[in-house]
A and B are shown apart, each in its own frame.
Chain A
C-alpha cells in the first residue's frame, strides 16, 4: 500500500493502479490496461508518437519542465549510431519522494513508457539509473524487467512484432549531482559525476556520445496514458501548456504530509489546507518551498497560486520536481537557509569554481549568522555572492544553491538582521 492515505481530491492517473493487489506484477498490470499503449504505439509512426506527446503538453517532471515531445524530437533519427533511452531515477532533490512510489507500486508502467520512447526515436536499449540508496527498488525493477522478458514484452521480438528492445537497471552510489542529466551520463559511463558542457545535448550526444532520450521516471510513466487515452485527454487534465497531473510531495509542517496526484495547476493553498489538512498544531503558514530545495521560497501571502510551471515561474519561483515543503510561523528561516546551503556545499562536485567556492563560503557565512556571530555586512555579502554564482556554472547546481538563498535573504531580511542584533 502507498505510504500515505489517498485523498478524495486526487485525480489518480499515473497512480491509478496503486493499492491494487500485487500492483507490481505484470498480471495486475496487463489486467488494468497494461501494455495496450505499447501495442497501439507499434502501429504508429515515429512522428505520430512524438506529435501525440507534444500535443499532450507533457513537460519534464524532473524539474526543468521542458516539453517532452520536443526533447524527443531533437533526437536525430537518421543517425547511424545506436540510440539509447536513459531513465533518471536518481531522485534526490530535497523535498521529493515520488519516483520511489512510481517504481515501487507500478514498475511496468515505467517499462511501457520507456519502450514507447524507444519506438518514438528508434532506440533498442534502455537503462534505468537508480540512486544507490534505493537498493530495494533495483530489486523491484529487476523483477519487473525479468517478467517482461518472460512474457515477450521485452527482448528481440517485442509483442511478437519483430521489434527489439532491451532494458536494464543501473545503480548509482550516492551523489545528488548525478541527478543532473549530463553528470548522470558521465556516472553511467563509469566516471565521476561531473557535468558535461552543453551543447551538444544528450539528444544528440548522450550515453556513449550516442543520441539519447533522458527523462525523469514520472515523465516516462505519463507516456502510456497519453498514447492510450490520447493527447487531448491528458492535456485537458491540466492547465494550458501544462498537460496532465503531477505527483506533489507534501512535506514539512502539515497535518497530512504525503504524495498526492493532482491536476497541473492545482491551487497551492488548497494543496496545503485541503489535501494536506492544513498547517499542523494550528500554527500559521509562514513560507513554502514549492518544488524542491532549489526553488525560491514563497511567503505565505504569495501561495494563492496555480501549481503549474508557468504560474510558479511568474511568481519568480519554480515548480521544480514537485517537492512542496511547508514551513510554519515558528520556522527559523536562517536555519532553513543554512541547512539547504550545507546540502549544496556537500553535493557540489567541485568542477566549476563559482559553485565549489560559492557554496562553501555561503555555508560559512550562514553558519556564522546562525551562530549569532554574523555582521550586518554579511547579509549583503550573502546576497552578492549568490548573485555572482548565477549562470556561471556548467550545470544548474550553482543556480540551485544561489536562487533559494537570494529569495530567503530578500523575503526574510528581518530574520537575518535579528540574528545579527542577537
Chain B
C-alpha cells in the first residue's frame, strides 16, 4: 500500500518517537492519520499498519474497534459533521441542533450522503462546554452555534463547498 509522501514522513516520525522495541505505540496515531488519507480503516490499512508496528492484523482490528473516531471499513463523508448533545450542549440547544441537522441533511447518526460528501454524527462531549452548543466539522470547531449558523454551514456543504469557503461562519480553532 502506498501513502502520500507527507503521510510517509509522518509515519516515520511516529515510529521514531517510541523506544525501538515499543513500536506498537504508533498503532493508534498511524490508524487515525492513515484514515484521514484513506477514508476509513480499510483492510489494506490494517495490514500495512500491522506490518509496520510488528503485530498481527487481527490485533490492529481488535484495537481499531474500540475507538469511536476510527471508522472500520465504512468511510464517513468527506465532511463529517459532528453535533454534541452532551449535558452542557444539551442545556443550551445542542439536541435541537442535532435534530435540525438530521432533517436538513436527511441523515441519521453515522449516516453518509449518497455522494459521500457529507456525514452526520451525534457525538459525546468534545471539550467546548463553555462555548456550547458546539459542532465539529472534521477537526474544526464551531462554538455557540445558532440554528441560523448551522443552516448556513449545512447549506454551504450541500452546495458542495468546503467548510473554509463558508466564510459567514468561521471555525474558531487556530
Which one, A4, A173, A289, contacts B67 given CB within 8 A? A173
Which one, B28, B33, B68, B129, contacts A323 given CB within 8 A? B129
A343 and B125 contacting across the interface, CB-CB below 8 Å:
yes
A140 and B124 contacting across the interface, CB-CB below 8 Å:
no
Enumerate B49-87 residues with CB–CB distance to A below 8 Å: 53, 55, 62-63, 65-70, 85-87
Q: How long is the Cα–Cα vector from A352 to B25 in the complex, in angstroms?
A: 24
Residue of B29, B65, B85, B124 contacting most chain A CB atoms (<10 Å): B124
Query: In the complex, which residues of chain B have a beta carbon less than 8 angstroms from the beta carbon of A97?
Result: 127-131
Given contacts A92-B124, A174-B69, A193-B66, contact A339 B174 (CB under 8 A): no
Residue tally, chain B, CB below 8 Å to A: 46
Q: How far is the CB of B1 from chain A (nearest CB, A)?
A: 19
Contact with B along A79-123 (1 / 0, CB 8 A): 000100000000111111101100010000000000000000000
Enumerate A11-43 residues with CB–CB distance to B below 8 Å: none
Given contacts A3-B172, A171-B33, A339-B85, contact A176 B139 (CB under 8 A): no
* Residue of A with least CB distance to B69: A174
B86 and A343 contacting across the interface, CB-CB below 8 Å:
yes
B88-96, B100-108, B157-165: which lies at the interface: B88-96
A67-75, A218-226, A246-254, A388-396: which lies at the interface: A246-254
Q: How far is the CB of A169 from chain B (nearest CB, A)?
A: 8
Q: How far is the CB of B136 from chain A (nearest CB, A)?
A: 7
Q: How long is the Cα–Cα vector from A312 to B115 in the complex, in angstroms?
A: 52
Query: In the complex, which residues of chain A have a beta carbon less than 8 angstroms from the beta carbon of B29?
Result: 170-171
Flag whether B132 is at the interface (Cβ < 8 A).
yes
Flag whether A133 is at the interface (Cβ < 8 A).
yes
Which one, B17, B25, B130, contacts A250 given CB within 8 A? B130
Q: How long is the Cα–Cα vector from A84 to B25 in the complex, in angstroms?
A: 14
A154-162, A182-190, A361-369: which lies at the interface: A182-190
Which one, A94, A135, A189, A323, contacts B22 given CB within 8 A? A189
Flag whether A409 is at the interface (Cβ < 8 A).
no
Interface positions of B (Cβ within 8 A of A): 17, 19, 22, 24-29, 31-33, 53, 55, 62-63, 65-70, 85-88, 90-92, 124-132, 136, 139-141, 143, 172-174
25 contacts between A and B (CB under 8 A): A91-B127, A92-B124, A94-B86, A104-B174, A132-B69, A135-B139, A136-B139, A136-B141, A168-B17, A172-B28, A173-B32, A174-B67, A175-B68, A187-B28, A190-B28, A190-B63, A192-B66, A251-B88, A252-B132, A257-B132, A258-B130, A289-B87, A326-B91, A335-B90, A343-B87
B92 and A252 contacting across the interface, CB-CB below 8 Å:
yes
B87 and A176 contacting across the interface, CB-CB below 8 Å:
no
Query: In the complex, which residues of chain A have a beta carbon less than 8 angstroms from the beta carbon of B125?
Result: 92-96, 176, 293, 343
Given contacts A171-B32, A188-B25, A190-B27, contact A253 B136 (CB under 8 A): no
